[in-house]
Amino acid sequence: MPTRNTPAPGPKLVIANWKMHGTHAGNARLIDALLPGLSAMAGVQVAICPPMPYLAQLAGLLGRTGICLGAQNISERAEGAFTGEVSGQMLADMGCGYALVGHSERRSLYGETDAQVAMKFEAALRAGLTPVLCLGETIHQRRAGNTNAVIGSQLKAVLEQVGMAQLAKGVIAYEPVWAIGTGETASPTQAQAVHAHIRQLLAAQDPAAAARMRLLYGGSVKADNAAQLFAQQDIDGGLIGGASLDADAFAAICRAAISAEPPVGAGLPAKNSTR
């Protein structure tokens, strides 16, 4: 199967994270329902991360639609006696272009540490995949006023492992843990504030690369709140869980990403000073 490469940054990026949902028949139905709407959409880059066993099915279903394939996880190891693990090379071989790393469910339920997440990020790059680094604070950390510190240390672990030039080849997804699967979304202002902070941290390393990096927001993004989130200066797309399992809702979110784009010919968006 061909390795699908990810395109250069430009339009907004919307990634579906199906988590542990799906069946062979159900996946086919969902893609069938999605394709007519999505294939007509220019101006947004879409990727779908199904459960691992369905990567081959999705690679076939997505074919030449322009929709990328991604994995929800990746091993930090290249090869060997690591039962149950899936390497970056295998994911690339299956046609993946993206791999999520450090999703909060992996961190909290499976004990992934910052150091391990950093190794996974590096493993994804080594395999030619675009890593999507998930960062986010818990509600307790937010209430204690530690949001920026938590995000900063999660980011620092990866920066120290790979350096800014390599980090800039990835995508960052800000996903407040308290907003994931809870129906409680960060307000556009809350999300923008953290995105701006992340971009500033990146800009301290390399302003030009920081301006180019895609920062996605994830956490209860729905058809009715996507447009407002995507309209924020430093939000370059979304990582969508629950709503990506509903064809109409996901298509509406992708449309919102297109309409949030500045009109063609308008030049660079008037982003804040960090861009």
**Positions that interact with ligand PGA (CB under 6 A):** 17, 175, 180-181, 218-221, 239-243
From CA 155, how far away is CA 172, in angstroms rounded?
9
Asked whether the beta carbons of 125 and 131 are under 8 A apart, the reply is: yes
Whole-number minimum distance, CB 130 to ligand PGA, in Å? 16
Which member of 76, 137, 175, 197 is catalytic?
Answer: 175
Catalytic, 175? Answer yes
- DSSP letter, residue 94: T
Please report how close the Cβ of residue 179 comes to ligand PGA at its closest, in angstroms: 6
Q: Which is nearer to ligand PGA, 214 or 275 (CB)?
A: 214
Residue 182 or 272 with smaller CB distance to ligand PGA: 182
Alpha helices (H) in the chain, listed in sequence order: 24-39, 55-62, 88-93, 104-109, 114-126, 139-143, 147-162, 164-167, 188-203, 207-212, 226-230, 247-259
Packing angle of the helix pair 147-162, 114-126 (nearest 10 deg): 40
Closest-by-Cβ residue to ligand PGA is 241
Q: How far is the CB of 239 from ligand PGA (least distance, A)?
A: 4
Nearer to ligand PGA, 14 or 129 (CB): 14
Q: Which is nearer to ligand PGA, 180 or 203 (CB)?
A: 180
- Alpha-carbon span 134 to 124, nearest angstrom: 14
What residues are labeled active site? Answer: 103, 175
